[in-house]
Chains A and B, each alone.
Chain A
Amino acid sequence: MRVTFTVNGEEASADGVWAGESLLYVLRERLGLPGSKNACEQGECGSCTVYLDGVTACSCMVAAGQCEGRDVRTVEGLAEQGGEGAERRLAAVQEAFVEMGAVQCGFCTPGLLVQSHDLIARTAAAGRGVPADAEIREALAGNLCRCTGYEKIIDAVRVAAEREAAEAGEAV
């Protein structure tokens, strides 16, 4: 079947999609978007996390056919265009991951970035303050990292949230 949906703001179509095929497979193998990683294929690891209609989901557990007409945002779409002609700028959480040393092998990073981006959007960037470490850990409970021990990741999310909160006019 043919599946057409919006990916990172642009319409994309894939042909010859098998009925049981996952969104993850379509993104990686048919649309040239390998940022979302394929690891466990059962929702355990979170490395394939994407936004689907603004809500985070493991793309390995979404049937591609369910995405017809929907809006998907992957890790490739987190960097924002600052304005007409401006350069694409990494999202605050991406900058913070680099600065804080939250990336080692990098395999889990795309999923963690999308899931962290969602947490910050719902909290600090929405004027609800910087999430406590417990809230950050809960938000990232479905994303496995075997390198970092998570401490640097938590640091990065906190730093990014503090910056977003400052930008949103919140007292940090």
Chain B
Amino acid sequence: MDFLRPSTLEEALAAKSERPAGVPIMGGTDVMVDLNFDRSRPPALIDLTRIAELREWSLEGGALRLGAGVSYTRVIDGPGAHAPALAQASRSVASPQIRNRGTVGGNLGGASPAGDCHPPLLAAGAVVELASVRGVRRVPARDFYLGPRRTARQDDELITAVLLPRPAGPQHFSKIGTRNAMVIAVAAFALALDAEKRTVGTGLGSVAPTPVRAEEAEEFLAAEFDWDTGAPPAEPVVRRFGELAASATRPIDDQRGSAEYRRHAVGVMARRALAWAAAEYRGGLGGGTRCA
């Protein structure tokens, strides 16, 4: 196994092109576990920690460009206000030591159905930036996840950034696990209301072979939500929203939870997230700004 240490993005892309089976390593919180347990022996590790632009974030007209190598801790301390659901998810990841090292780019690269970043990225309409020696392309998060740990990333591509539109309304994330720290989510749910486009975004984790959206629930709520006043949705609307969210799941039974529990949990989290988001929406209307 070779250890490659590119110092620029150009060098890294060249390395990935020459060694497409080489595994990029940033925080190491997934890659090193596989190595420590003899689960993988890639021909090369490509260390991306020396590439400055991957560790940077910036605002472009209110939209957030988050370098793939920004740690969860830095998401929370830095641009979190520009990506509220992602910030909430980041705060819930593992433990402080892992939040110091783990990155949004690594979560995307690993593409575990249980990854904490995926529901907020789906709900917020994020776009994944992929780069190779052939050029740069941008893939919406909704088209990025193809199967368990399989994504739209080609073998010679690196994930360089994730782009999040300016939040135009409340965003909320919740997840269920057996304790607060160091657990893989049994189920996760994210909700984003867009007050300008009057649309709803959702993201569901740990309840299907990939992170998924609940599109029927999104359309239903966009039509039923009182966008003018943010009035608390009527009980049948809340219930139906929960049912439609739950019906978007394709869960399995495993040691972390049963399929039935996961389906139920998504319905509960969806109803709660709607209540939180509606309350925040009403609060925002009074203050002259709708943004979280």
* Chain A residues in the interface with B (C-beta under 8 A): 1, 18-20, 22, 41-44, 46, 49, 55-58, 60-63, 65-66, 68, 115, 138-139, 141-143
Contacts and interface: CB of A to CB of B under 8 A. Distances in A.
Contact of B36 (A19, A41, A65): A41
A41 B28 CA distance: 12
B133 interface: no
Interface of B: 1-3, 5, 25, 27-29, 31-33, 35-37, 41, 44-45, 47, 49, 73, 94-98, 100-101, 180-182
A68 B5 contact: yes
Contact of A65 (B27, B45, B101, B180): B45
Interface centre among B44, B96, B182, by most chain A C-beta atoms within 10 angstroms, is B96
A61 to B, nearest CB: 4
Contacts of B32: 20, 22, 60-63
A44 B32 CA distance: 13
A46 B27 CA distance: 15
Label chain B's interface by main secondary structure.
mixed
Contacts of B94: 43, 142
A72 B59 CA distance: 32
A15 B73 CA distance: 33
B95 A46 contact: yes
Nearest to B43: A19
A43 to B, nearest CB: 5
A141 B100 CA distance: 13
Contacts of A46: 95, 97
Nearest to A68: B5
B253 to A, nearest CB: 24
Contacts, number: 88
Nearest to B182: A44
Given A20-B35, A41-B37, A43-B29, A63 B95 contact: no
Contacts of B37: 41-42
A62 B3 contact: no
A140 B1 CA distance: 35
A61 B182 contact: no
Nearest to B28: A61
A66 B31 CA distance: 13
A18 B44 CA distance: 11
Contacts of B47: 63, 65-66
A73 to B, nearest CB: 14
A97 B182 CA distance: 24
B36 A141 contact: no
A121 B33 CA distance: 29
Contact of A18 (B1, B95, B98): B1
Given A41-B33, A43-B29, A43-B94, A63 B101 contact: no
A57 B45 CA distance: 19
A149 B3 CA distance: 41
A63 B36 CA distance: 10
Contact of B96 (A42, A61, A141): A141
A42 B33 contact: yes
Contact of A142 (B5, B33, B181): B181
Contact of A49 (B2, B25, B31, B97): B97
Of A18, A22, A65, the most chain B CB neighbours within 10 A belong to A65
A7 to B, nearest CB: 18
27 contacts: A19-B1, A19-B45, A20-B41, A22-B35, A41-B36, A41-B37, A43-B33, A43-B95, A43-B97, A43-B98, A55-B100, A56-B100, A58-B98, A58-B101, A61-B28, A61-B29, A61-B98, A61-B101, A62-B101, A63-B31, A63-B32, A63-B45, A65-B45, A115-B96, A138-B96, A142-B94, A142-B98
B75 to A, nearest CB: 14
B128 to A, nearest CB: 24
B1 A20 contact: yes
Contacts of B33: 41-43, 61
A111 to B, nearest CB: 9
